[in-house]
Structure 1
Amino acid sequence: MQIDSWDDIRAALTVARLGTVSAAAQVLGVHHATVIRRIDALEAALGARLFQRHPRGYAPTEAGQALLEIAAGADERFAQMAARIAGAGARIEGEIVLTSLPDVTTLVMPRLTRLLLAQPGLRLRYLTDPRLFRLDTGEAHIAIRAGNRPTEPDYVATPLAIIQMRLYGAPGYVAAAGAVEDIRAHRFVLPGPEGRPAPFMRWLGDRVVAENIVMISNDAHARLAAIRGGLGLGWLSPDQSDGLVEVMALPEWDSRLWLVTHVDLHRSPKVQAVLKALRDSGADADPDPETAEPTETGAGAAPD
């Protein structure tokens, strides 16, 4: 014996509860002939008559009553399970995985901290890594990326901030090396391959040779320490520049920061809560004139 479809059992259960095929068809949203076909298929699979047909409707037989008692319990458990799943999905709780850029901590952490304090059931896994995390395979719920708008299929990208990067040096280095009149007369501290999409890296291009690059590191803290130590010039956001000298700034070095989600998870309550928290500048930043959502702030430019 094999019952191919729960819909057959549900049709029989609904007929038993309501007494007529037409009433069951209306509740189930199907044609009355479909209800009759499902009952016939169920009786054939079980090898037993489930209903006595009479002019006023359908009445369960002894076999039908036994089946429908079990089916009613199963249907109730399915309803409870569906309500539990729906309720869990509507709550802002559980783990959220956010992959970010190494240099945007001062921008995003105050906002995330406010959210976590307000939602004690939410747990954050905050990852900064040079590689590009895949949202379509579930490696992360949300990604913060820099540069051009991400174009992967099924990704939802919304603007977060304008990234400002300027060229800085330690006072001792600038005093000894002088102003940046000839770029090849200076040494540079640069990010590794993960920083290549940054506008300032594209601008630098072939303007320098290998001898100009004194250090390459994917560690933002190491680069900052080297710049502060007078090893060379480097690109930083203004909020990292205390005690340093700004030697050059070009609008073309600015780029946009994006919040990226997968379309399947974009509308889930916890993802929406994090997106809203990240877009809520509070007292962190000034409004970005290009859009009502993002804010303008200093941040690193390496992609996640």
Structure 2
Amino acid sequence: MASWDDMRVFLAVARAESLSRAAPTLRMDAATVGRRIARLEAGLGAALFVKSPQGYALTDLGVRMRDHAADAEASLTQAVEEARGDQAGLTGQIRIGAPDGAANYLLPQVCAAIAAENPGLEIQVLALPRVVNLSKREADMAITVSPPQAGRLTVQKVSDYRLHLAASKSETIENMDDLKGHRIVGYIPDMIFDKELDYLGDFGADGVQVASNSVAVQVMALRSGAGVGIMHDFALPFAPELKRVLVNELSLTRSFYLVRHVSDRSSDRLNRFAAALNHGLKAEISRLERLVA
């Protein structure tokens, strides 16, 4: 019979897909983690992982066990929260995964406000140029630009946001023809991780001459006079050297979604944090967009 300590080790390896990456989380050395996994598999009489030079990949049984173990972990966490009676304020650590546009220009202000009201809370922002994997518990919740279509997840729309072409204030761009001869700043085409971020077709650009997988790098490139590019309206107040151009000719609307693992629905702590995050994001997007309207 597997113990909860066995499940804790199993979950760490399942999420990290590697003994060496799981070891620091467990405060064990990789050899000990490997022995624990081997003992667990021997006790079950079945393989939970397929081992290869690339790491540890879950078998079908391993996937099912991971989901059940994650549910049990969430229930245990909820029980501890209730025992502590943390109703006066949120405590512990909560990690949010987010695309770097939201991570750079929205979450610092929103998280600062939430942290000010909850001194015992540690908030981590995981900014990645890809979709955060909640099933592997890379984060407790994630902000996305498209609602996920698969997985044991709950999805809540947070807010629409707007994007426009932006360029240096020294540039004169009054019509679409004026774009000719300007370099285009945008995403590296083969590293666009969500179709909602593929803006090229919206304004007929042939390609990107100054590219990055990071919104923050794109904004800095625009601020340095590298060209013209699509920019979040909520980021413009942080770039006073830039202006929106061709506002009537090109205006895009996208949305943010708050995504959580379905097993966390019963966690009062995460529910309260998600509500504060949702409210804060809506208010901050609205505030920043009003500054450039």
TM over 0.5: yes
Equivalent residues of 2:131, 2:193 under 8 A apart: no
State how 1:71-90 maps to structure 2 within 5 Å: 86-88=82-84
Measure the CA separation in 1 of the matches of 2:241 and 2:150: 41
Per the alignment, residue 262 of structure 1 pairs with 261
Structure 1 residues 167, 278: closer, same or farther in 2, change over 3 A? same
Per-residue deviation, 1:240: 3.0
d(CA) in 1 for partners of 2:134, 2:283 = 30
Whether 1:125 and 2:121 are equivalent positions in the alignment is no
> C-alpha displacement at 1:184, in angstroms?
5.0
**Structure 1: runs of 5+ lacking an equivalent:** 1-81, 287-294, 299-304
Q: Does the alignment pair 1:191 with 2:187?
A: yes
Secondary structure in structure 2 of the residue aligned to 1:230: coil
Alignment of 1:207 with 2:212, yes or no, is no
Cα distance in 2 for residues equivalent to 1:152 and 1:296: 32
Q: How does 1:58-137 map to 2 (within 5 A)?
A: 86-88=82-84, 92-104=90-102, 105-137=104-136
Distance in 2 (CA, whole Å) between partners of 1:186 and 1:278 is 39
2:162 corresponds, among 158, 161, 164, to 164
Q: Tell me if the contact between 2:234 and 2:285 (Cα under 8 Å) persists in the aligned partners.
A: no
Q: Indicate conservation of the 8 Å contact 1:161/1:297, yes or no.
A: no
1:245 and 2:243 are equivalent in the alignment: yes
Say which SS state the counterpart of residue 122 (structure 2) adopts.
Answer: strand
| CA positional deviation for 1:83 | 7.0
Counterpart Cα distance in 2 of 1:178 and 1:84: 60
Partner SS, residue 133 of structure 2:
coil
Aligned residue type for 2:133: R
Q: Is structure 2 residue 176 aligned with structure 1 residue 180? A: yes
Which residue of 2 is the match for residue 234 of structure 1? 229
Question: By how many angstroms is 1:106 displaced?
Answer: 3.3
- TM-score between both structures, scaled by the size of structure 2: 0.59
Change (3 A) 1:87 1:235: same
Deviation of the 1:221 alpha carbon: 2.9
SS of the counterpart of 2:185? strand
* Aligned counterpart, 1:273: 272
1:140-188, Cα deviation, whole Å (9 max, x unpaired): 11100013x222232111011212110011133x33x763237554320
Q: Is the 8 A contact 2:100 2:127 kept in 1?
A: yes
- CA distance, structure 1, for counterparts of residue 161 and residue 285 of structure 2: 12
Tell me by how many angstroms 1:100 deviates.
1.1
Note closer, same or farther for the CA distance 1:85–1:145 as it changes in structure 2 (3 Å cut): closer
| Matched residue type, 2:153 | Y
Residue by residue, what CA displacement relative to the aligned partner does 1:206-265 show, whole Å, maximum 9, x if unpaired? 93334xx22111233321222122211011122433332322346762111000000101
**Cα 1:99/1:167, change in 2 over 3 Å:** same
Query: For 1:106-147, what per-residue CA distance to the aligned partner results, in whole angstroms no more than 9, with x for missing partners?
Result: 333322222212222221111101132211121111100013
Q: Which segment is superposed worse, 182-191 or 199-208?
A: 199-208
Amino acid at match of 2:273: V
How much has 1:284 moved relative to structure 2? 3.1
1:284 aligns with 2:284: yes
Q: For residue 44 of structure 2, what is the aligned residue in structure 1? A: none
Relative to structure 1, the CA distance from residue 200 to residue 127 in structure 2 (aligned partners, 3 Å threshold; closer, same or farther) is closer
Q: Secondary structure at the match of 2:151?
A: coil
Identity %: 19
Cα displacement (A) at 1:296: 9.2
Matched, 1:224 2:241: no
Query: What are the superposed Cα offsets for residues 31-74 of structure 1, whole Å, 9 maximum, x if unpaired?
Result: xxxxxxxxxxxxxxxxxxxxxxxxxxxxxxxxxxxxxxxxxxxx
Tell me the TM-score normalized by structure 1. 0.57
Counterpart position of 1:7: none
Conservation of the 8 A alpha-carbon contact between 1:133 and 1:140:
yes
Aligned residue pairs total 204
Q: Return closer, same or farther for 1:89/1:218 CA change in 2, 3 Å cut-off.
A: farther
Q: Distance in 1 between matches of 2:211 and 2:83?
A: 49
**2-structure distance, mates of 1:222, 1:129:** 13
In 1: Cα distance, 2:279 partner to 2:202 partner: 35
